Amino acid sequence: MIWKEKYRIGVSMIDKQHQELFRRVEDFIVNLRSSGKWEDRQEKVKSTMEFMKEYVVVHFRAEEEYQKKINYPGLAEHQRIHAGFKEEINNFAQKFEEEGYQEDLVQSLAGKLLAWLINHVASEDQKIGSYAKSLGGDSNEG
Ligand SMILES: [Fe+2]
């Protein structure tokens, strides 16, 4: 399991979405490491890309809305980081469209997704949780 309890930021809506992202990325990686024909495993790549393109937008929007709600001072910077990641996903999607699901490109996507997700959730998103906690009250109502 890639998800760790320490990744929780203490805002249940965001934590649930993060867990779903971790679950999907893990599923994707397990599939990539499995044996069997590459052609058969490409379906998983397609569905993961479809999911990522949609869910990342939904999740980033929700996370940014929450930051607005609590007047999080790092919102602009956080939005910039989110926008950069969305662009990377879209670049991969574009390459897949042009070149097909090349195995090395897919492997590099998997590495990138995992590294980004862990780094982002373990550091940048934690700051949102700390800020929410510093306000007192129940951050889980967000
Ligand atoms: Fe974030």
Residue 3: inside a domain? no
Residue 73: inside a domain? yes
d(CA 64, ligand 1 centre) in Å = 8
Which among 126, 123, 128, 117 is positioned nearest to 22, based on CA atoms? 117
State both tokens at 55: 């869910």
Task: Name the percent of the chain in helix, strand, coil, to the closest 5.
Answer: 80, 0, 20
d(CA 78, ligand 1 centre) in Å = 6
Residue 13: inside a domain? no
What's the chain's length in residues? 142
d(CA 117, ligand 1 centre) in Å = 9
| Domain interval for residue 89 | 43-134
Strands (E), the chain: none
> Which tens digit of pLDDT belongs to each residue from 82-138?
999 999 999 999 999 999 999 899 999 999 999 999 999 999 999 999 999 999 865
d(CA 65, ligand 1 centre) in Å = 11
Residue 70: inside a domain? yes
116: CATH: 1.20.120.50
d(CA 82, ligand 1 centre) in Å = 6
Residue 24: inside a domain? no
Give the model's confidence band at 142: pLDDT under 50 very low, under 70 low, under 90 confident, else very high: very low
> Which tens digit of pLDDT belongs to each residue from 11-40?
999 999 999 999 999 999 998 888 888 887
Residue 31: inside a domain? no
d(CA 18, ligand 1 centre) in Å = 9
pTM recorded for the entire structure: 0.90
State both tokens at 58: 């939904």
pLDDT above 70 (res 7): yes
Query: Is residue 72 helix, strand or coil?
Result: coil
Count: domains in the chain:
1
> Which tens digit of pLDDT belongs to each residue from 54-64?
999 999 999 99
Residue 67: inside a domain? yes
d(CA 37, ligand 1 centre) in Å = 35
Residue 51: inside a domain? yes
Q: Which residues contact 49 (CB under 8 A, 6 or more apart)?
A: 89, 92, 93, 96
